[in-house]
Structures are given as C-alpha cells and as structure tokens.
Structure 1
Amino acid sequence: MKMVVCGGCAASWRRCVVMSLRLLFLLPAGLPVRSQGESQSDNKQMENITIRQGETLFLSCSQGDFVTHTAWLNRSSILYAGEDKWSVDPRVSLVTLNQDEFTIKIEDVDLTDEGLYICAVQTSSRPRTTSVHVIVQVPPKIVNLSKDLVVNEGSNVTLMCLANGKPEPAIVWRIISPSDESLSSDNEVLEIPFISRYRAGVYECTAANDIAVDTQTVELTVNFPPSIADGRDVGVTLGQRGVLLCEADAVPEADFEWYRDDRRIFNGFDGIEIENDGAVSKLTFFNVSEADYGNYSCVAVNKLGSANTSIVLYEIIEPTSSTLLQEMTSSNLEHTAFENNDFLEGPGAVQDGNSGTSTVFTPTCLLLIVLLHLLLKF
C-alpha cells in the first residue's frame, strides 16, 4: 500500500493544533461546564502596562502547581506555548519559565505591539487566564512643516505644523527672533494677515506630549521698499576731506545712486569715491574744491520701490591771523571796559591809585596791539 502525503494536510494539521490549544485553555475535555461566577474567578485582569516606544516590554504571569500547559497570546496569535516559540518576530524571546513564573519579553516596542495580551494556564484541575492591556506611548515628531518663506509686505501668510505622537501632541507656534509674545498660536496653523516688515524673523513650532518635545523652525523673510534716513548736511574746509553718508532700510538690500543736481555721480568721478556697505552708502571727497560745494541727492532702489534724501556740502571758513587779531582786540577792549566799570563807585567818583594806574595802562596796551597789527600786514 502506498502512502500519499498531501501538502495541504500539513497546513490543516497545524491549524487544528492551534485551534486545539485555544480550546484547551478555554474548556478542557472531561470537565463539566462551571457557572459564570466560577469562570470569572479564574480569569484575572492585570493593570494596564504603559510603555514608551523603543523600550523593552516584559510580560509575566504566575504558574502554580500541576501546570500541564501554558502560553502567552497576543490577540489571536500565540507568542510562546511553553518553551516553544510560535512567534516569528525576532524581538520576542523567553525570559523565565518555571513552576512559579512564565515571562517573555518584546524588545524595541512599537505602536503595533499595543493591545491585549493573555497568559493562559492549564492545570490538572481547571484552566485560568491572566490578561493585560499594553499601551504604547510615542514621542511627538513633526512630520509636516512649512518651508522657509519669502513674501512681500502686506501679504497674508499661513504657516503649518503637523505632528504625530501618542498621546496626541499639543502644537505651539511663536516667533523667537525678534521675540514677540503677542505673536503666538496654540494651533497647527498660524495665520498672519497683512504681514509687515516687523513680523519677519524665525518662527518656532513646538510639538509636545507627556513623553517628549520636538521643535523645528521656519524663517520668514518679508520684502519691503526702501525707507531712507534724512540726510545730514556736512561742512568741510576747502582742500580737506569730506564724507556724505546715506542710510536706507530695505529688503532686498537697496542699490544706491548719487546725484549732483540732475547729473549722476559714478565711482571715481572727479576724484570722488562711492563705497556701499549693506544699508549704508558713503560718498567721499578727498580734496574738496569750490566746485564741490552744493546740493547732493542719494537715491535707494530695490525691486519694490525707491526713496531719496538731499545732503548739502557747505564750506567752513578757517580763522586767519587777521581774524584772530581782530577777535583778540575786541576781547581786550571788552575786558578793559569791564575792569574800569568795576572800579567806579558811582557818578563823579574819584579814582584811587589803582584805578589811575589802570587808566594809564589801557592806551599803552591798545597802542601795542595796533602796532602789532600793522607789522603783520607787512
């Protein structure tokens, strides 16, 4: 007689074994059906186990005397039946199996491991089960964040921040540079209507739950036309060095243009140097001539607009020897008159010796000053 081996028979046999084990733990053969109260007394519910994603989970149940079969099940799957591993998951392994304890572990726990676990024990008298619900907590992770933005002033801006996690993370938006407590939101979406240049900066999204915090940032650039500071007139002595400064605030940075009346000035023109450094433009005269004095215009331009200001370069006259002598003479005359008045006690008063000396000395001093002035002319 030939024996025929059926490939499907082996699979069917395995399914029968699994079903037999499950039925074995629920109602052993040869035992009468117990009342509902008796059945409930043999089934224990352990407190929930809360574990963080990535940690190692230990599942343990007591055994007792006269244990014939024992197994750990996860929902509808058998993880371990005694010392035999049924799970194909390499993270699952046996820790302890003896008369007192049956413990297995699951490493690197993930959200898919969450759920109900049952330890089924069959003794010679009756079966019993111990069940526990495993809750897996997942730290927050921002999965969708707005990219860095460049917008024009006056635009409506929407920033979005989406995050996963368990418990569900709370989302908070705030601007961190420049700091502004008034501009924040406890929502996944931050709306900024009619944005101004003062709202540009770095925005931070924070996703937080009981496990951890995840933070990411978005840089928001706001373009606006130039605004230019009022020019300050500059006085320079003939032949000296003179510098005109022009400062403008703009995004993108402004390009500067200099004009004398209606004529544009270029770098190197008539010995003039133009130097631009970010928001400041500097127009330098290395040797100011009479023709350089006058009114100058500075214009700041970017793609959104322009602004201008006027600056006057005027002459400062240095004092000469003649003007210094005149100033000294005037000062001495005023000082002499003040001293003479100090010694007068009233109308018709008679001068004392000191006042007489002062009266004689004053014409002499004036004469010397006049002679010095004539000598300087020659």
Structure 2
Amino acid sequence: MGVCGYLTVSWKCLVVLTFRLLFLLPAGLPVRSQGDSQSDNKVMENITVRQGETVFLTCPQGDVVTHTAWLNRSSILYAGEDKWSVDPRVSLVTLSQEEFTIKIENVDTSDEGQYVCAVQTSSRPRTTSVHVLVLVPPKIINLSKDLVVNEGADVTLMCQAGGKPEPSLSWKLISPSGDLGSEEEVLEIPSITRQKAGTYECTAVNDIGTDVQTVEITVNYAPSVSEGRDVGVTLGQKGVLECEADAMPEASFEWYRDDRRILNGFDGIDIEDLGQISKLMFFNVSESDYGNFTCIAINTLGSSNTTFLLYEVIEPTSSTLLQEESTSHLALTSSETFAIQSGPRTVQDGNSGALGIHTHTSNCVVFVLFLLFLLRV
C-alpha cells in the first residue's frame, strides 16, 4: 500500500515523501518517522495575518543542513533554493545556515492552514510546523434591494455578511432618524407607515473592520389635503387660492367651480402646480369670480379634496371716510364736554373774582361747542 496508503495523505506522510524525493533515499531504506526518538520536531505559535497582508515563514537551520524544504498542506513550496510552487505570491527571502525564510504576499483565506519546514541534517531529520490564521474584515454579501411599497404592507429586510471572525450585524433607520433598529440580519417592519419610510443602514462589524451599506424604502400613500383658507379680495385686484396636499407618489390637482372643472387659462384664471402646492390665480377679480371653489388632489392610491370661498372686500370711499371722521369727532366732542362738566367744583376763597371769570369762560366754551355740534348735525 506504500508509506501512506492509497486514499489519505497527512502532512506527516507528505514530509516523509518529501524527504524521499529531495534526498533521493531508496524506497527500500527505512526512513525515520516523526515519532522517532532521534527526530527533533517543533511546533511554533500560530501566525495571525489579515487578508491582503504579507506573511513570513521562518525555519531555523542550526546544525549542518544537507537538505531543507517548506511545505503547505498538500504541496512543496520551496526545496532549498528551488521553487516548486507556481504561485507568484510565494518567494524566497533567506536561505542560510541560520534560517530558511519564505514569504507569501496578498494572503487570502485559501492560504490558511498548517505549514511545515522539513530539514535534513547530517545526523537526523527535523520538522518545524506553524499554523497560519487569516483574519478577514467584514463584507456584506447579501443585501435587500431598494423597495417601493404601499402604506400598511409588511416589509422584511435582509443583510448577510462574511468575515473572520464572524461579524455582528445591526439595522437602523438613519434618514429620517428614528429609534427603529435590530441586532439581527433580518429586520421585520409590520404594517409600515409613511413615517418609517427612508434610508435604512446595515452595519457589519468584527475585530478587523466595519462594512456599511444602505437600503431605501419608499412608502406610497393616498393624498391628504390641508384645510382650505377663505380669501377676501377687492374688485379688480389679484386673488390667489392655495391648495396643499401630502401624497406619495406626488398628487396631481384639479380645480372646480360648483360642478364645472376649471382649466388653466380659462376666463382669465391661471393654475400653477408647484409640487405639493397648486395655486388658482385671479389677476383681475370680477363680481362673477366670487364664490366657492373645490380643490381635488389625486394619485394612484386615492384622492382628497377641500373647499375655498373667494369673497369680496369693500374698500372705503371718500363719503364713508367723511362719515367715519364725523362720528369720531362727535365722540371726541361729547367726551370733552363730559370731562369739562364733570370737572372739580370751584371753591371760593380770597380770589373768588378770578375764579368766577374762569367759570364763566368755561361755560361759554361749552355753549359754543354745543352750537357747533347742532350745526354739524
């Protein structure tokens, strides 16, 4: 069956076969196994390297060395100065009486495993083994696509990542910011509302690094129209009715006067749609323009409406201004008369003559004011 059997070749058997190949030992001669008391086997501490970095494998030489080789799990990398590996990332660094060092550049997960340095001295064979561990930063490999759903639907987001050590995953809503989150690879959102629409972020983290990717969720919902505000306008002036609607997808607007739809430019009326707002504009309001108007916002999920009243505001004329002035003057005169008549009574003393004259003068003023009031009436 040979040294190692037909089906399974362990690294120990590989070392023995390597010695036979390298040192041209006749197949019939005995070869010292690694369990031989005269062999000198050494296991070094694990070497940990990040994916993409370079790893150096060093084997001490020591005694008079006749042959030496580096092997990985299934093949010979270097035999002395002779390169057996076809991998361009593997190269010889040092080969001397003190050490035998090779390097592997741009290490990947396929390079992880056990490596053996086999040395044949003048006295006995020796092996040195080391295990290479490759750490891999997290990488999100499966993420849900951007979604467009109707309000009330159940939503499931998936985020899967690879890495070594295995990364932890978390979800959160970042735009608009919210407290919705999960520490699992699956995020469930039952009966989603418009407030939960936005950008969701999946984060994968391990000891090596972090990977972040996002998913956009758009929630469609029927229009909701703000309550209409009545507007007063003077004849001949400009009037504007504004209708505002919240909807996804964005609503289209229709304006009506009673049961008749108003078209843009009809009867001197312009309609201007600005996203969520529609404006009905009258540039020269006439008597026939006053009345009730209805705004309807429509999208694929439904509609909503509100009503407005355009009413007349009367500007004051010269006659109305004169009437208001007379009324104001009459009120002022009456209040002055009352103030004079209800003033403090005169107290006679040594100057009673002067006080009497003052009282007589005040009475004359009151009489004149009263005559003026009668004449205006």
Q: Aligned partners of 2:215 and 2:34: how far apart in 1? A: 66
Matched, 1:20 2:20: yes
**Match for residue 237 of structure 1?**
234
Matches within 5 A, 1:156-175: 156-175=154-173
Q: Which residues of 2 match residues 83-232 of structure 1 at below 5 A?
A: 83-181=81-179, 183-232=180-229
Deviation, 1:31, is 8.9
Partner of 1:71: 69
Distance of aligned partners of 1:17 and 1:199 in 2 relative to their CA distance in 1, 3 Å threshold: closer
Aligned to 1:8: none
**Structure 1 position 347, deviation (Å):** 10
Provide the residue aligned with 1:11 in structure 2: none
1:327 aligns with 2:324: yes
Q: CA deviation at 1:52?
A: 1.0
Give per-residue Cα distances to partners, 1:315-372, cap 9 Å, x unaligned: 11111111111111111111122222223347998983663364245246547867xx
- Counterpart position of 1:359: 366
How far did residue 110 of structure 1 move? 0.8
Measured in 2, the distance between the counterparts of 1:177 and 1:294 equals 44
Instruction: Check whether the contact 2:165–2:206 (CA below 8 A) recurs between aligned residues.
Output: yes
Contact 2:23/2:67 (CA < 8 Å) preserved in 1? no
What are the ranges of 5 or more consecutive residues in structure 2 without an aligned counterpart? 1-14, 347-355
Q: For residues 163-193 of structure 1, what are the alpha-carbon distances to aligned partners after superposition, in whole Å with 9 as ceiling and x for unaligned?
A: 1211111111111110002x11111111111
Give distance in 1, aligned partners of 2:107 and 2:201: 30
CA distance in 1, matches of 2:16, 2:100: 25
Count of residues paired in the alignment: 350
Query: Mean alpha-carbon deviation: is it higher for 30-39 or for 82-91?
Result: 30-39
User: 1: distance between equivalents of 2:146 and 2:212?
Assistant: 15
Instruction: Tell me how far 1:113 sits from its aligned partner.
Output: 0.1
Deviation per residue, 1:201-240 (Å, 9 max, x gap): 1111112211121111111111100000000000000110
Aligned residue in 1 for 2:11: none
Tell me the distance in 1 between the aligned counterparts of 2:294 and 2:31. Answer: 108
Shift of 1:313: 0.3
- 1:310-349 maps to which residues of 2 (within 5 A)? 310-345=307-342
Q: CA deviation at 1:32?
A: 8.0
Distance change in 2, residues 1:33/1:250 (3 Å)? closer
Letter in 1 for 2:98: D
Mapped contact 2:22–2:67 kept (Cα < 8 A): no
- Secondary structure of the 1:343 match is helix
CA contact (8 A) 2:38 2:124 kept: no
- Does structure 2 conserve the Cα–Cα contact (< 8 Å) formed by 1:225 and 1:306? yes
Letter paired with 1:94: L
Counterparts of 1:174 and 1:230, CA distance in 2: 35
Aligned to 1:7: none
Unaligned ranges ≥5, structure 1: 1-14, 371-378
**Distance of 1:289 and 1:348 partners within structure 2:** 62
Of 245, 248, 252, the residue aligned with 1:248 is: 245
Q: What's the % identity of the aligned pairs?
A: 66
Aligned 8 A contact 1:340 1:355 in 2: no
Shift of 1:142: 1.5
Quick one: distance in 2 between partners of 1:33 and 1:286?
105
Q: Relative to structure 2, which stretch is displaced further, 329-338 or 237-246?
A: 329-338
Structure 1 residues 138 and 38, CA, compared in 2 at 3 Å: closer, same or farther?
same
Q: 1:298-313 residue pairs with structure 2 within 5 A? A: 298-313=295-310
The C-alpha deviation readout for 1:239-290, integer Å capped at 9, x for no partner, is 1000000000001111111111111111111100011111100000011111
Contact in 1 for aligned 2:34/2:41 (Cα 8 Å): no
Q: Does the CA contact (< 8 Å) of 2:16 and 2:33 recur in 1? A: no
Mean alpha-carbon deviation: is it higher for 207-216 or for 280-289?
207-216
TM-aligned CA distance change 1:262 to 1:355, over 3 Å:
farther
Cα distance, 1:69–1:357 mapped onto 2, change above 3 Å: farther
TM-score, reference length from structure 2: 0.85
Asked if the contact 1:275–1:283 (Cα under 8 Å) also holds between the matched residues in 2, the reply is yes
Cα deviations across residues 102-134 of structure 1 (Å, max 9, x unaligned)? Answer: 110011111100001111222222222221111
Q: Is the 8 A contact 1:239 1:289 kept in 2?
A: yes
Task: Tell me if the contact between 2:16 and 2:31 (Cα under 8 Å) persists in the aligned partners.
Answer: no
The CA distance in 2 between the partners of 1:126 and 1:227, in whole Å, is 90
TM-score, normalized by length of structure 1?
A: 0.85
> Partners in 1 of 2:267 and 2:314 — Cα distance?
23
Q: What SS does the corresponding residue of 2:304 show, helix, strand or coil? A: strand
SS in 1 for 2:324: helix
Distance 2:368 2:55 in 1: 113
